[in-house]
Amino acid sequence: MERKNYLNAEYGIRSWLLTTDHKRIALLYLLSITFFFFVGGFFALLIRLELLTPAGDLMTADMYNKAFTMHGQIMVFFFLIPSIPAVLGNFLIPMMIGAKDLAFPRINLLSWYIYIIAGGLYIYCLATGGVDTGWTFYTPYSSLFSNTHVVEAGLAIFIVGFSSILTGLNFVVTVHRMRAPGMTWSRLPLFVWSHYATSIIMLLGTPIIAITLLLVVLERTLNLGIFDPSRGGDPVLFQHLFWFYSHPAVYIMILPSMAVISEIVPCFSRKRVFGYTFVAASSIAIAAIGFLVWAHHMFVAGISLYSALVFSFLSFMVAIPSAVKVFNWTATMYKGSISFSTPMLYAFGFIGLFTIGGLTGLFLATLGVDVHVHDTYFVIAHFHYVMVGGAVMGYLGGIHFWWPKISGRMYPEGWGRLAALIVFLGFNLTFFPQFIVGYLGMPRRYWQYPPEFQVYNVLSTAGASILAIGYLLPMVYLLWSLRYGKLAPDNPWQATGLEWKTTSPPPTFNFDETPVVTWEAYEYETMPLPDEVTLER
């Protein structure tokens, strides 16, 4: 007889679609964002196939323009931004703080439905012809010139923003008001600190993109003229409004991934995180300073020289807390007891690739260099290093780390490590050549390109095919493990954290009794070593 847990507590589609259990909602999100990941990935496939040859010979230019637009919009708004917070954050935060659920369980479910409605509208937009403005919707192209479904896409993203806002709202209130007795702020897992910082950004930043896209929609439908130069409007104002959210948005995408790394590294080093206070403070600093750097996307957009200086300076500042985190994770490994589990391999990958991605961000913050590399493949390589090499690797690492807790099963360790390696190699082959071809001058969003850029594009496409395999493998073996995987013990990794003190999978209300916390976070010196078996193939 299986023990009662959140998965088998109730059966039937209604018990899932009307659930208020944060763990079930997390799984609903897992299914939805995985779906969108593959839709966005399909568009990436189209892009990379077209770019195998310099000529535009696989599809029309309009089709290609739609492909990169929808790849970007889907990946950013429907995959990356929700991913870790909506799946792992939703699942784990209440358990990590010793609570029975989030502060507002019904709002949690509402936020998933809002996501689904927005996703549905976006799929409708896609099915009826798509949108070709680039994920950035720059005016006046998007407001006056594009003949595609800008309104539907804009509205869909407007709506999905509210899903993000409500998730952030839930997390902030939960962390403030629902911590178990003894769970002080300084005992919180860094996962929670990072998600708290992320939630602040979600709350304060997302409304700006909402109103900005709404204004573009109104401009198109009612001919307002706010961004139309022939009537006194300023297209550059759009860019300021857009990037005021979209820059902090990238921190929404990376902070949760950093949250995961902060849990994985101490566990597989058997050592508390080096410099806990600094890592926690860095999360807050990244969120705060991240709001002050938006115009570094606009150095050649016609902003004044002096504001460019200010934004360049601040962009360098925001790099420091990220660097501090990388150093602290590395220092955590010093004199630790390291094991090379799948989550740890993803963490290594994150640290390496985020370092490269972050450093190339410095190139972009450097004014004189940005003039040359802005709007080239250098930028594309930079943001894929941080978003894919960083955020997605953190996401996959987190999925593997908490898979036993979520599903009650162990995934096959050998396949897990293999997939991690394939992802790492495929990723680098895909995106490293793009730094080179970008510096050579290949602009982004180009359907056709001069022949001298071809070799790099071919390398990149080859890498993408390897990366795709790396992403498909976990789909297969994780699903396989649901039926055939070893049953997971409560704490297979012997990790600290309240979520590991309950069963795998947990009961619906997380804890049979509310825990009373009297210990600090990451007290690995008191933990036994994990069972040899869980770390073997």
Partner 1 sequence: MFDNLPLWPTSASVHARYEDWLFIFLTVISVAMTVLIFAAVAIFSMKYRRRHGREAAHIEGSLLLEIAWSVAPLGIMMIMFAAGALLYFRMRTPPTDSDQVYVVAKQWMWKLQHMEGPREINQLHVPVGRDIELIMTSQDVIHSFFVPAFRVKQDVIPGRYTTLWFRATRPGTYHLFCAQYCGTMHSGMIGEVIVMDPRDYQAWMVSGAPSGTLAQTGMTLFQQLGCNTCHRSDVQGRGPMLNGVFGHPVQLEDGRVVNADENYVRESILSPAAKVVSGFKPIMPSWQGQVNEEQLNQLVAYIKSLSPAPEGAAITSGAPGGTQSQEAQQPK
Partner 2 sequence: MLEHEDRPELRHHFADVVQQRNAASLGMWWFLGTEIMFFGGMFCGYLVYRRAYFPEFAAGSRSLSLVAGTVNTAVLICSSLTVALAVRASQLGKRKLLVNLLLATMFFGVCFLGIKGYEWHDEYEHHHAPTFYFNAQDLVHNNPNLHMDPQRTKIFFSLYFALTGVHALHMIVGIGIFSVITFMAWRGKFTPEYHTPIEIAGLYWHFVDIVWIYLFPLLYLIDRRPGA
* Interface positions with partner 2 (CB under 8 A): 94, 99-105, 165, 169, 172-174, 176-178, 203-208, 210-212, 214-215, 218, 222-226, 230-234, 237, 241, 244, 509, 514
Closest contact distance (angstroms) between CB of 290 and partner 1 is 16
User: How many residues belong to the site for partner 1 (CB under 8 A)?
Assistant: 99
Residue 397 binds which entry of partner 1, partner 2, none, CB below 5-8 Å type-dependent: none
Partner that binds at residue 212, options partner 2, partner 1, none, CB closer than 5 to 8 Å by kind = partner 2
Residue placing its CB nearer to partner 2 in the complex, 195 or 374: 195
Q: Which is nearer to partner 2, 91 or 350 (CB)?
A: 91
Residue 195 CA to residue 89 CA, distance in Å, equals: 7
Report whether 22 contacts 105 (CB < 8 A).
yes
- The binder of 39, among partner 1, partner 2, none, by C-beta within 5 to 8 A per type, is none
Q: Residue 391 in contact with residue 80, Cβ under 8 Å?
A: yes
Q: Does 138 bind partner 1 (CB under 8 A)?
A: yes
> Going residue by residue from 322 to 351, which x/- string records binding to partner 1, judged by CB under 8 A?
-xx-xxx-xx-xxxxxxxx-------x--x
Residue 391: is it exposed, middle or buried by C-beta count within 10 angstroms (0-12/13-18/19+)? buried
Residue 363 binds partner 1, judged by CB under 8 A = yes
List of residues 6+ apart from 305 with CB closer than 8 A: none
Site for partner 1 in 390-409 (CB under 8 A): none
Looking up tokens 């940005």 gives 370
Could you give the CA distance from residue 382 to residue 364 in angstroms, rounded to a whole number?
Answer: 9
Using CB under 8 A as the binding rule, whether residue 448 contacts partner 1 is answered as: yes
Check residue 320 for interaction with partner 1 (CB under 8 A).
Answer: yes
Q: How far is the CB of 103 from partner 2 (least distance, A)?
A: 4
* Least distance (Å) between residue 101 CB and partner 2: 4
> For partner 1, which is the closer residue by CB, 88 or 216?
216
**198 contacts: CB under 8 Å, gap ≥ 6:** 85, 89, 168, 171, 251, 252, 255, 256, 259, 287
Interatomic CA distance for residues 90 and 67, integer angstroms:
31
Q: Which of residues 147-206 bind partner 1 (CB under 8 A)?
A: none
61 is an interface residue for partner 1 by CB under 8 A: yes
Considering the rule CB under 8 A, would residue 58 count as an interface residue with partner 1?
no
Tokens of 497: 């954290």
Report angle CA 125, 126, 132 to the nearest 5 degrees.
90
Picked from partner 2, partner 1, none, the partner binding residue 386 (CB below 5 to 8 A depending on kind) is none
Number of other residues whose CB lies within 10 A of the CB of residue 433 = 22
Could you tell me the sign of the dihedral formed by the alpha carbons of 51, 54, 58, 61, in that order? positive
Residue 493 and residue 401 in contact, taking contact as beta carbons nearer than 8 Å = yes
Place of tokens 């206070």: 277
Give yes or no for residue 17 binding partner 1 (CB under 8 A): no
Q: Is 20 among the residues that bind partner 1 (CB under 8 A)?
A: no
Site string for partner 1, 230-269 (x = CB under 8 A): x-xxxxxx-------------------------------x
Query: Would you say how long the chain is, in residues?
Result: 537
Check if the beta carbon of residue 454 is closer than 8 Å to that of residue 491.
no
Q: Which is nearer to partner 2, 62 or 234 (CB)?
A: 234
